[in-house]
Amino acid sequence: MSHKVSAVLIAYNEANIIEETLKALTWCDEIVVVDSGSTDKSQEIYAKYNCKILIREFDGFGTQKDFAFSQAKNDWILSMDADEVLSKKLQDEIQEVLSQETIQESAFNLPRTLIFLDKRISSETKTPCLRLFNKNKGGVTLDKVHETIRVEGKISNFKNEMLHYSYRNIHDYFNKFNRYTTLASEEYIENGKSKSKFMIIVRLPITFIQFYIIRGCFLNGFAGFIWSLFSAFYPVVKYTKLVELKMQRK
């Protein structure tokens, strides 16, 4: 390839899926993994794929990824989550772009599709996620959760998808749910944000209708119903934790 690329991941106890993730990245010039201290077999899997491994205590998604990106030796970075797998067609599409002598874009969106309860979820199908970028043109926000990559310059979209196997089971879903809602509420209170109790109450039915009806999750059967329900529950818990934190600080 004319332009070398570093695949960069942050991970913690993802041995159940990360091998599939890494298999789809073997064409990259290097794979950088920043691990938060996994206690499963993740380290053995990293070694199989000649990853550059760094151990760093987790202090938020944004700061963890910012550190990981700083460890990449190439200008072009492919930012991946440990539970995401590039399709073969998307791998080819990315390599074709990187083989060009000159790339006009600063970054590219990768279409991501969530697999939940063995179903593709309509509301999360081919969602554009900015993942391939030139680190000289931007970087990641330092948010504790729901961090984003921001760049200056042109952004284009790839056509082929990557699959997102975010949850091993419902137990794993709620482990992540609890972690993310806590981090989000802590970040909100640090930034002085608030939410009225009335808005928390009405948020659940409104969000459920958005996901289940408007965004088409009713087409996904039982899995679509459960995803819509959980998605509606998420902001209620997040903002209730914010209310609780405010009460504790009075």
Contacts (Cβ under 8 Å, ≥6 apart) of 248: none
**Residue pointed to by tokens 């640090």:** 190
Residues of the chain with CATH 3.90.550.10: 5-164
- pLDDT score at 1: 66
According to CATH, the topology of domain 5-164 is Spore Coat Polysaccharide Biosynthesis Protein SpsA; Chain A (3.90.550)
The pLDDT tens digits for 194-239 are 999 999 999 999 999 999 999 999 999 999 999 999 999 999 999 9
Q: In whole angstroms, how far apart are CA 159 and each of 89, 92, 93, 162?
A: 9, 11, 8, 10
Q: In whole angstroms, how far apart are CA 62 and each of 15, 29, 126, 145, 147?
A: 22, 24, 23, 7, 5
Answer whether residue 113 shows pLDDT above 90. Answer: yes
Q: What global pTM score does this model have?
A: 0.90
With cut-offs at 50, 70 and 90, classify the pLDDT of residue 249. confident
Answer whether residue 250 shows pLDDT above 80. Answer: no
